[in-house]
Structure formats: structure tokens, C-alpha cells
């Protein structure tokens, strides 16, 4: 890690900080200006993270929708981000592609991680799904934040999004899955669904355990007697206690067992490969 990256990492690790990254100059101080086009985020807990290579690939794929910065520069940015992640504490960094008005720039926002919650209550808004680009994380940031605020006002924790046909799609900041016996189920992929990193990891864990992981379309009444979970990078697995499916004490115990398996996937950030399979360490921006 070069001196400039060391200095940026040390400063960023001491507070809630934003940093621009440029291919020719590395890190520099940033503010909150500009229009956010794409984001991604993940949990760093004592220098360990799960699925960072997948978060990097999702971010790069979404950034590729725009003329700049291009895949190579985005990969270099994510390598620089991985180098600068703190080795101590709980953090929830966010990477951003930002329209500054004169072009696009890459920015990291290193944020302390909010406390994890073990369960979640869902609220379903009225009216159609008004997201513009559901498959791009960050494209509908303000709209989804407003939905989560409405959910809080309604006494819930998360907003549940449904399709025009009434099928469960996802939460405003979570993937939605449910269990039919020993089969893990979730909505099918498509342009209306964000590719969930935690969901993909959980599906692999289920298959490794000899269980099935399938996709299906389901409306809320179809899930009335089933355990439903929300998934995301910050909280991992949370059983739904209100607003969808059914909840029993045994559901929380089962979710805790799977949460432990999910947590075991976390590895030191410096050992993570990028989208080309190369280690994300000791690479200068």
C-alpha cells in the first residue's frame, strides 16, 4: 500500500468520511455534492467481509451502463477501496458513481455500521412500483429512502415492493426469500429485481447443505403459512415478524443458525479476488 493510500485510509477510519478517487491522483477529500448514479455497500467487521468480489462485480456492471469511468478504472477503484478498509471496528462503506455536472467520478463513503437487528416488520405501500431501474443499486436511491421512511411512520422497518401482478419482488433495501419445507424460494431474476449478493451466498450455502434453492412467483397470500426472511449485507438474515408470511420462535432459531453459516463466509479484505480472480492487495491506484 503506498503512502498516499495509507494516509487516506488512516484519516477515513477515524470518522464518517467521503473520498474521491481518481486514476491519476488516488484519494482526495470529498463532500456530498453531485448526483449519485450507482452505489454498493457491504459490512466490514474487524477487517473481514463476505462477498466483496461480488459487490465489486455488481458495482462495475452497473457502472458499465454509463460512458465513464469504464471497467478497468472501476476495477482499479475497487482495489483501492479494498486496500483502505479498516482492520478494526464495524463499518458499512459505500462506493458511488457520481455525476458532478461536469462528468462522472468515483467516491467512497466510509460509514460506521449501524447496529444489526435480528427481525424485521414489513409494510406494503399502495400504488405501483415507481422505480426507474430496479436492477441498478442507487438509481432510485431517494425514492427507496422515502419508502423506508414511510414504513417507519407506519410502524414497520422495511417497505415491501410488489409487481403490478401482485407478486412479491423485494424490500426497499433487502432481498426477500421464503422456505417451503427444506426448499429455499425467492422471486425469479429479471429487470425488476436487484441481484442480491447475500441471497446468492445463502443459495449456495443451501445447495451445499443438500437443500434445493428455487425461484417462483408468489403473492402475499401464497406465503401466509411460510417463514419469510429479508436479506442484505448489513443485517444478513432477518425473519419477518409482521407484514408477510408467518413467524414462530423456531423461525428465529433457524435463522440464527443460517446467520452463523453466512457469517463464516467472511474473509480478510486483503485476500479477496477481483472480477478477474486476482488478489485485492498491494496494488497502487
Tell me the C-alpha distance between 32 and 22, whole Å.
17
pLDDT at position 83: 92
Give the pLDDT confidence of 134-165 residue by residue, as tens digits: 999 999 999 999 999 999 999 999 999 999 99
Confidence band for 127, pLDDT divided at 50, 70 and 90? confident
CATH topology agreement for domains 3-114 and 120-263? no
Residue 10 has pLDDT above 80, yes or no: no
pLDDT at position 172: 98
Residue 7 has pLDDT above 80, yes or no: no
Question: What proportion of the chain, given as a percentage, has pLDDT over 90?
Answer: 87
pLDDT at position 275: 45
Give the pLDDT confidence of 44-62 residue by residue, as tens digits: 999 999 999 999 999 999 9
pLDDT at position 15: 58
Mean pLDDT of 76-91: 95
pLDDT at position 277: 44
Residue 21 has pLDDT above 50, yes or no: yes
The pair phi, psi for residue 117, each rounded to 5°, is -110, 150
Domain boundaries along the sequence of the chain: 3-114, 120-263
Mean pLDDT of 13-20: 76
Residue 184 has pLDDT above 60, yes or no: yes
pTM: 0.89
Q: In the CATH hierarchy, which top-level class contains the domain 3-114?
A: alpha beta
152 within 8 A of 172, measured Cβ to Cβ: no
C-alpha cell at 54: 461480488
Confidence band for 273, pLDDT divided at 50, 70 and 90? low
Give the pLDDT confidence of 190-210 residue by residue, as tens digits: 999 999 999 999 999 999 999
Q: In the CATH hierarchy, which top-level class contains the domain 120-263?
A: alpha beta
Amino acid at each position: 500500500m503506498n503512502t498516499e493510500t495509507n494516509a487516506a485510509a488512516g484519516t477515513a477510519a477515524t470518522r464518517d468520511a467521503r473520498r474521491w478517487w481518481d486514476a491519476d491522483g488516488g484519494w482526495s477529500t470529498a463532500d456530498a455534492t453531485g448526483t449519485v448514479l450507482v452505489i454498493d455497500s457491504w459490512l466490514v467487521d474487524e477487517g473481514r467481509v463476505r462477498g466483496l468480489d461480488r459487490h465489486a462485480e455488481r458495482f462495475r456492471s452497473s457502472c458499465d451502463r454509463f460512458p465513464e469511468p469504464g471497467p478497468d478504472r472501476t476495477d482499479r477503484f475497487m482495489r483501492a477501496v479494498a486496500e483502505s478498509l479498516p482492520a478494526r471496528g464495524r463499518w458499512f462503506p459505500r462506493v458511488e458513481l457520481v455525476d458532478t455536472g461536469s462528468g462522472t467520478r468515483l467516491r467512497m463513503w466510509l460509514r460506521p455500521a449501524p447496529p444489526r437487528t435480528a427481525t424485521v416488520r414489513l409494510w406494503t405501500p399502495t400504488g405501483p412500483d415507481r422505480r426507474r431501474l430496479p436492477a441498478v443499486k442507487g438509481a432510485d436511491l431517494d425514492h427507496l429512502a422515502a419508502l423506508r421512511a414511510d414504513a417507519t411512520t407506519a410502524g414497520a422497518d422495511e417497505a415491501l415492493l410488489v409487481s403490478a401482478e401482485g407478486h412479491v419482488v423485494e424490500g426497499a433495501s433487502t432481498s426477500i426469500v421464503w422456505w417451503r419445507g427444506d426448499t429455499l424460494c425467492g422471486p425469479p431474476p429479471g429487470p425488476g429485481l436487484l441481484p442480491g449478493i447475500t441471497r446468492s451466498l445463502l443459495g449456495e450455502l443451501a445447495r451445499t447443505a443438500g437443500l434445493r434453492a428455487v425461484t417462483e412467483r408468489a403473492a402475499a397470500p401464497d406465503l401466509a403459512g411460510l417463514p419469510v426472511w429479508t436479506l442484505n449485507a448489513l443485517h444478513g438474515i432477518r425473519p419477518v415478524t409482521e407484514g408477510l408470511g408467518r413467524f414462530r420462535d423456531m423461525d428465529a432459531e433457524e435463522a440464527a443458525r443460517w446467520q452463523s453459516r453466512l457469517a463464516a463466509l467472511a474473509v480478510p479484505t486483503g485476500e479477496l479476488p477481483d472480477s478477474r480472480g486476482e488478489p485485492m492487495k498491494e496494488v497502487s491506484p
